[in-house]
Amino acid sequence: MFGNHGNDRVDRRGRRSRRAIGEALIELILERGYEAVTVTAIISAHGVSAALTTGSPSPPAWSF
């Protein structure tokens, strides 16, 4: 409502990106274990742009 400013396309892209990051995180943790997962591995796993991680908190602080 307040933050959208009528740009639903951007919101949909953001939701898709967050979903892809969450899925990659879960898959990588199951494959490698939590301690072996890096932000680079997460963004590489589903082709998410590295620009999305600039200034982002570490994975434990992300909310899905």
- In order along its 64 residues, the chain shows pLDDT tens digits of 455 555 677 788 888 888 888 888 999 999 999 999 988 888 888 776 666 555 555 555 555 5
Cα gap 28→21, rounded to integer Å: 10
Domain span at 39: 8-55
Confirm if 42 and 28 have CB atoms less than 8 A apart: yes
- Return the pLDDT at 64: 52
Residue 47 falls within a domain, yes or no? yes
Residue 64 falls within a domain, yes or no? no
Residue 61 falls within a domain, yes or no? no
3-state class (DSSP) for residue 54: coil
- Return the pLDDT at 1: 46
Q: In angstroms, how far is the first alpha carbon of the chain from the final one?
A: 21
Cα gap 25→20, rounded to integer Å: 8
Residue 60 falls within a domain, yes or no? no
The CATH code of the domain that includes 31 is: 1.10.10
Q: Record the pTM.
A: 0.59
- Return the pLDDT at 54: 58
Provide the residue count of the chain.
Answer: 64
Give the number of domains in the chain.
Answer: 1
